[in-house]
Amino acid sequence: MASRRVIILGSTGSIGTQTLEVIAHLNALHDRGEWHERLEVVGLAAGARGDLLARQAAEFGVRHLALAEGEPTAPADGRAWSGVAAAEQMVQATDADVVVAAIVGAAGLAATLAAVELGRDVVLANKETLVAAGALVVPAAERSGAKLLPVDSEHSALWQCVQELSAGGGATVGGAVAPPMGETPTIERLILTASGGPFREWSREAIERATPKEALNHPTWSMGQKVTIDSASLMNKGLEVLEAHWLYGLGGDRVDVLVHPQVIVHSMVEFIDGSVMAQLGSADMRTPIQYAFTWPTRIGGRAERVSLADLTRLDFEPPDLERFPALGLAYDAIAAGGTSGAVLNAANESAVGAFLAGRIPFGVIPTLVRDAMEHLGSAGVTSMGDVLDADARARAFVAQRLPA
C-alpha cells in the first residue's frame, strides 16, 4: 500500500493537532525512504475555530472540511459542510481508509458510527462514543470489518501488551475488531492505571469545593478541558473502564484500576499464570497515536524517552471510591447495561459544563451523574435513537437540577 487516506475529526483539538504532527513525522520518514506508506489527509472536521481549520487544510492540502459552528472556507477545488451534522456528512461523502475520531464528547458519536459502518478503520480517541454507544459501535465494526484502533494511552498500552495474541499466537482471538481480547482465555484481568489527577492527596471536603482553575491544573498530562476535568474527578478512568469493557469484551469484574502517580506504566494485563505485562513510556500522546498508524509494526518516534535509571520509584495504590465516587458509577453502568452508559456520559458532560461555568461546585458533578442514573434507569439499546433519547433525557435532568 503506497498511501492511506485519512480523515481527522476534531483536528483542532489536543489529540487532533498531535495527530497532524505524527502524520507529518511519518510522511517525512516516508520521503526519506524509511517508511513504506504516505498518509494523505483528505478531510478535517472541527467544532469551532475555522481559522485554525483553514490553516491546517492549507498546510496538509486537504480538500474536504467540516465545521459545526460557522462557515468553513473550502479550498478552490474542495467541499465544505457546516452545522451540527457537518462531520458526519463529510465522513459519508469522503473516500478514506482511516478516520481519526478525536471530537470530544457525544458530539463525536454520529460521525464515528458512520465511519465504522462504512468499514473505515477508526483510530479512536473519542472514548465517549464507546461509553454511550458501544452496544452499537462494536457490532457495527464486526459487520463492516472496521478496525477499532485505540489511542487512549491506557487502551493502547493494553493492546501493546497482547501483541503476541494478535500476531497469530492465539487461535481463539479473532474478529474484525482489533485489538481482540474478549474471548481470550489466557487473560485474567486488565489493570488500567490512573495518574490520580490534581486532587489525589486532597481531602473529600477540599475536593468538593475545588475551583475550575484547580481542577484544570493536571500534574502530568496537557489535554482538552473536558478530559482534564474528568481526570480530576476520576470520571475519566470510569469512562476508560467502560471503554475497555466494550473494546476488549471483558466484564467489569475483570477491569481494575490502580492509581500510579508517576504515569510511566500506562496499563497492564494480568494472565492466568500470574504473569503481568506492562507497557511503559513517557506521558506523550504522540506515542499511542503513532502506534495506531504503524501497527502491527513500530517506527522511530519523537516522544521523550523514559530514563528508567533516573526513576527512584513506581507507586501503585487502589483508587479511593469515597473521595472519587465517579469511578464507582462506571462499574454501576456496566452492571446496568443498556442506556446507562449514555446517561452517565451525557449527565457528566452537562455537569462538567455547569462546573466550568461556575454554576455548581466540583463535588456536585458525580452527585448529578448518580442521580440521573438512578432517576432514568436503563433501557435496551437497539438503535441510535435509543442512545440519543437517553442522552437528551440525562441532559434535561441535569439542567433541571442546576441553580437558576
Smallest gap from residue 297 Cβ to ligand NAD (A): 23
Cβ–Cβ under 8 Å, residues 195 and 227: no
Got the DSSP string for 256-289?
Answer: EEEE-TT--EEEEEEETTS-EEEEE--S-THHHH
Residues 6 or more apart from 339 whose CB is under 8 A from it?
376, 378, 379, 380, 381, 386, 387, 389, 390
Q: Per CB under 6 A, does 70 bind ligand NAD?
A: no
Q: Which stretch binds ligand NAD (CB under 6 A): 41-49, 163-171, 369-377, 392-400?
A: 41-49
DSSP category for residue 132: H
284 touches Mg ion by CB under 5 A = no
Residue 352 and residue 229 in contact, taking contact as beta carbons nearer than 8 Å: yes
Within 279-298, the residues that bind ligand NAD by CB under 6 A are 285
Q: Does residue 152 interact with ligand NAD by CB under 6 A?
A: yes
Give the three cell numbers for residue 248: 476488549
Q: Which is nearer to ligand NAD, 165 or 263 (CB)?
A: 263
Q: Which stretch binds ligand NAD (CB under 6 A): 8-16, 21-29, 132-140, 382-390?
A: 8-16
Residues 145-204 that bind Mg ion (CB under 5 A): 152-154
Binding residue for ligand NAD, selected from 10, 150, 325, 353, defined by CB under 6 A = 10
Q: Compute the least distance from the CB of residue 34 to ligand NAD, in Å.
A: 27
153 vs 350, beta carbon nearer Mg ion: 153
Report if residue 125 touches ligand NAD, rule: CB under 6 A: yes
> 104 vs 181, which CB is nearer to ligand NAD?
104
Which partner, ligand NAD, Mg ion, none, binds residue 223 by CB below 5 to 8 Å per kind?
A: ligand NAD
Using an 8 Å Cβ cutoff, are 360 and 368 in contact? yes
Tell me how far apart the 2 most distant CA atoms of the chain are, in Å.
Answer: 61
According to CB under 6 A, which one of 22, 103, 114, 207 is a site residue for ligand NAD? 103
Count of residues interacting with Mg ion (CB under 5 A): 3
* Residue 154 CB, nearest approach to Mg ion (Å): 5
Least Å distance, CB 288 to Mg ion, is: 9
> In what helix (H) or strand (E) does residue 16 lie, and over which residues does it extend?
helix 14-31
Residues that bind Mg ion (CB under 5 A): 152-154
